[in-house]
């Protein structure tokens, strides 16, 4: 990620633009009221250079190890 892109990327609008979604989608994900598609989850993980499971957690089901 280029440092000159960082300030815009960290805004909801900049992140939405980068991911091809609306600002409302970003807000809903932050609130936990929207579950992104697998494709969007992969885009987010790639953008932040993280694993999907480091960004999202499975709720409402027991995780079996």
For residue 22, CA distances in Å to 35, 40, 45, 50 come to 14, 12, 18, 22
State residue 1's pLDDT score: 46
pLDDT at 9 over 80: no
**Residue whose pair of structure tokens reads 């480091």 in the numeric block:** 54
State residue 57's pLDDT score: 82
Give residue-wise pLDDT tens across range 12-61. 999 999 999 999 999 999 998 999 999 999 999 999 999 999 998 877 76
pLDDT at 4 over 60: no
Label residue 60 left, alpha or beta by phi (over 0 means left) and psi (-120 to 50 means alpha): left
Say which residue, 1 or 20, is predicted with more confidence.
20
């Amino acid at each position: 990620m280029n440092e000159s892109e960082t300030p815009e990327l960290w805004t909801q609008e900049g992140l939405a633009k980068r991911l091809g979604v609306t600002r409302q989608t970003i807000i809903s994900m932050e609130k936990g009221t929207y579950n992104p598609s697998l494709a969007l989850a992969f885009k987010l993980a790639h953008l932040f250079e993280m694993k999907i499971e480091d960004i999202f957690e499975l709720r409402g089901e027991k995780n079996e190890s």
